[in-house]
Amino acid sequence: MSAYKSFSKQKTNGQKRDDEEAASKPKNRQRVLMLTSRGVTYRHRHLLGDLNSLLPHSRKDAKLDTKTKLQQLNELADLYNCNNVMFFEARKGKDLYLWLSKPPNGPTIKFHANNLHTMEELNFTGNCLKGSRPVLSFDAGFEKQAHTRVIKELLTQQFGVPQTSRKVKPFVDHVMGFTLADNKVWIRCYQIAETETAKAAPSDPDTADSAPTATVAKSGKGETNISLIEIGPRFVLTPIIILEGSFGGPVIYENKEFVSPNQIRSDLRRAKAGRHNRRAESMVERKAKRRDMGLNTGEGPREIDELDDQVLFA
């Protein structure tokens, strides 16, 4: 019996079986837990649905009730057997923050998401197979700094679909591009479209001279042209902070150039209020000046000098 087991593990030519070769290779086991907080808008929900359809190794969960105790996401990830968390946090029904974490040890990156455009509102002509694996294309700028390398590694593990996923299809027909510009991560998604050009076979010159009308050109396969067609969604991520742990721990990077949208709206309201106050003060000064000059009827004293009409023509 032991001799039969030893021979059954080998092929006819003495090589190992495919299952043993697959078992010897390190498996990329990645699962992403995707969920939102309370207060998200319809656009945020559509963006979550688009990303969930593009990532077959993701699991979408119900909304999280709290915005302060984010450590509960580690327990949810352990409950659903997920080692990546993508959490969309909405603030004031306007601002959207994206948390990418690697539980249970971290790290965690907090982004501010803006310029959101979902698949429905873009109406692009491209289309990709549901469940296919994407090709991740990163800009060369991710390798220049330490925090950008951390961002690249976390984005790779979040958006990289493993071959061993349960819902994955054995096709690669779209590209996800990550570009670093202006200290922001620009994310685009394209379909890989292949078109073949027909190639006409050369005809016999003797046959063409004798019977030109009976000549038929045989078509064959020509060159394959590969083009990219954008399918969406598209959005921009601005990194804010990077935490060492999973939704906690010390801050290892902080973007000093980031200005919160609340501060921007406050500055705009203050500038608008300042212009209104200056116009009101100038109007009060103009009225006081006219009253002192006696230009308003029945208001303020009017001094009569020697050149006044009442003195000259009295």
In whole angstroms, what is the distance from residue 158 CA to residue 185 CA?
15
Whether this model's pTM surpasses 0.75? no
| Counts for the chain of helices (H) and strands (E), in that order | 9, 11
- pLDDT higher than threshold 80 for residue 98: yes
Determine, yes or no, domain membership for 311: no
Q: What is the pLDDT of residue 184?
A: 93
Q: What is the mean pLDDT of the chain?
A: 81
Asked whether residue 213 carries a pLDDT value surpassing 50, the answer given is no
Are residue 157 and residue 236 in the same domain, yes or no?
yes
Instruction: Say whether both 184 and 270 belong to one domain.
Output: no
| 14-73 confidence digits (pLDDT tens) | 455 555 555 566 666 788 999 999 889 999 999 999 999 999 999 998 888 887 788 899
Is there a single domain that holds both residue 276 and residue 138? Answer: no
Question: Are residue 29 and residue 107 in the same domain, yes or no?
Answer: yes
41, part of any domain: yes
- What percent of the chain has a predicted confidence (pLDDT) above 70? 80
Q: How many domains does the chain have?
A: 2
Note whether 188 and 271 are same-domain residues: no
Same domain, yes or no, for 85 and 141?
Answer: yes
42 and 63 share one domain: yes
Give the whole-angstrom CA distance, residue 174 versus residue 137.
11
Q: Which two tokens stand for residue 257?
A: 């150039």
Lowest mean pLDDT across 52-66, 157-171, 206-220: 206-220
Which range has highest mean pLDDT (18-22, 82-86, 293-297)? 82-86
Q: 178 and 112 in one domain?
A: yes
Give the amino acid at 193: A
User: Do 107 and 135 belong together in one domain?
Assistant: yes
Regarding whether 285 and 183 lie in a shared domain, the answer is no
Report the pLDDT value the prediction gives residue 50, as an integer from 0 to 100. 92
Check pLDDT > 80 for residue 261. Answer: yes
By CB neighbour count within 10 A (0-12 exposed, 13-18 middle, 19+ buried), where does 52 fall?
middle
- Which residue range(s) make up the domain with 75? 25-198+212-257
Confidence tier at 210 by pLDDT (50, 70, 90) = very low
Are residues 192 and 265 both part of a single domain? no
**Amino acid at residue number 190:** Y
Query: Is 149 in a helix, a strand, or coil?
Result: helix
What pLDDT sits at residue 202?
57
- The pLDDT confidence band at residue 86, using thresholds 50, 70 and 90, is very high
